Amino acid sequence: MGSDSSSTSFSLDDEEVEPSVSITINSPARKTSFAVEDYERICTVGAGSFGRVYLVRHTDTQRCYALKQIPLRNIIAQRQIRHVHSERDIMMRLSHPYIVKMYRTSIDRCYLYMLFEYLPGGELFSHIRAKGHFSNGTTRFYAAEVVSALSYLHSKIIIYRDLKPENLLLTREGHVKLSDFGFAKVVSERTRTLCGTAEYIAPEIMANQSYDKAVDWWSLGILIYEMLNGFPPFRGNNVLEIFDKIVSGKIRYRRSFDPVAKDLVKKLLTVDPMFRLGNFEEEAQDIMDHEWFESIDWDDVYDGKITPPIKPRVSECDDPGNFDLYDEREDQHDEISLTELELFENW
C-alpha cells in the first residue's frame, strides 16, 4: 500500500511517442461508486506525499478493506490527473491472483477514494528488513509470483513501472500481490515518461529514451538482488549518484550469492534493453525457462499451490500488526471548485 522509505519515487508529465492507447474493458460493467461513510476507519496502513491508505471495516458486513484516500488538491497541484484516471481504468480491467483487487471508487469535493482488498501480511519490504535477506528458495518463490503477475500485465500491453518491495503486499497465507498502480500505463509500442523509484529505475528511463516493457524486467533484477542481498545494488546519497551507478552497470555480489541466481540477475540488469532477458521474442517465457527457475511448475505458481515460505502473523481480519505505525493526525484539505471537479468526471 506504499510506505515512505529511503527510496525516491517521482514522475514527470507524459510525452507520448505514439497516440494514447484507449482502454477497453471486456469484463462486465460493475458498480463502482460507494458511500465512504459505510466504512469505519480503523487505522492508517500506508502514507506518503500523495495520500493515505486506511484499514477500514464495512459497518454492515464487517469485512475489512484498504481505502486509498487522495486529496484532490494534491492531484491537481502535482499534475497527476492523468495518472489517477489511468490507475482506476487499469485496475478495473485486471484479474490475477498476484495483483491486488480494486472493488470500487468514489469522490467528493475533497478526496478521491479507491477501495481495495486488504492484505494483512504487510509489505515485502518489511519482511526483507526483518530477516536481513532471503534465502535462495524464498527469493525464487516470490520472484516467480512477480514474474507471473508482470507477464499477465504485459499480455494486456500494460507496463507496471514501479516494482519494488514496498509495493508488494503479502496475503494472510503469505502469497505476494502487486499494489499501487499509480505509474502503470497502457502502451502498445513505446513511451518516454520519466517516472519510477530511483533505485529500481531502468537506465533507458533515466536517459529520457523511449522504452517499453523491458523496464519491468530490469526492476525484477533489482528486486531479486535485493531479496538475496538485503539491499538494492545501486545506492547513493542522492538521485544523481544512484543514476551514475546504474549507468556504470557495475554490481558487487557477496560470495554467498547463488551463481545461478547471479546469472539471471546479470541478464536482467543488462543496461542495453535490446539484450535484456525478457525482451526477446519469447518475452517472459525466457525468464521462466532460466535455470534458476528450473524447479518451478508455473501452473502451480498461478494456481497458488506452492506453500509460501513466509507465514505472516495475522490474528484477525482487521489486524494491522504487519504495517508500520503512522501518526493518525490528518492534514485538512480544501474543497475543489465544481469546475475543477469536472476533471474527475465518471468517478
As annotated, the active-site residues are 162
The identity of residue 199, as a single letter, is E
Angle between helices 136-155 and 259-268 (to 10 degrees): 30
- Cβ atoms of 175 and 123 within 8 Å: the answer is no
Whether 68 has a binding-site annotation, put simply, is yes
Identify the H or E element spanning 54. strand 52-58
Distances (CA, A) of 24 to 20, 151, 186, 347: 13, 19, 11, 17
| SS3 of residue 346 by DSSP | coil
Strand partners, 111: 71
CA distance 264 to 95: 28
User: Which amino acid is located at 151 in the chain?
Assistant: S
DSSP string, 211-260: B-THHHHHHHHHHHHHHHHSS-S---SSHHHHHHHHHHT-----TTS-HH
* Cα 44 to Cα 318: distance, rounded to the nearest angstrom: 12
Cell of 270: 543488462
How many helices (H) and strands (E) would you count in the chain? Answer: 11, 11
Q: C-alpha grid cell for residue 25?
A: 474493458
How far is it, in rounded angstroms, from Cα 160 to Cα 334?
Answer: 32
In the block, residue with C-alpha cell 539471471: 264
All three cell numbers of 191: 513511451
Is the distance from CB of 295 to CB of 139 less than 8 angstroms? Answer: no
Cell of 120: 494483512
- Measure the CA–CA gap between 227 and 248, rounded to whole angstroms: 22
Would you list which residues are annotated within the binding site?
A: 68
Would you list which residues are annotated within the binding site for ATP?
A: 68
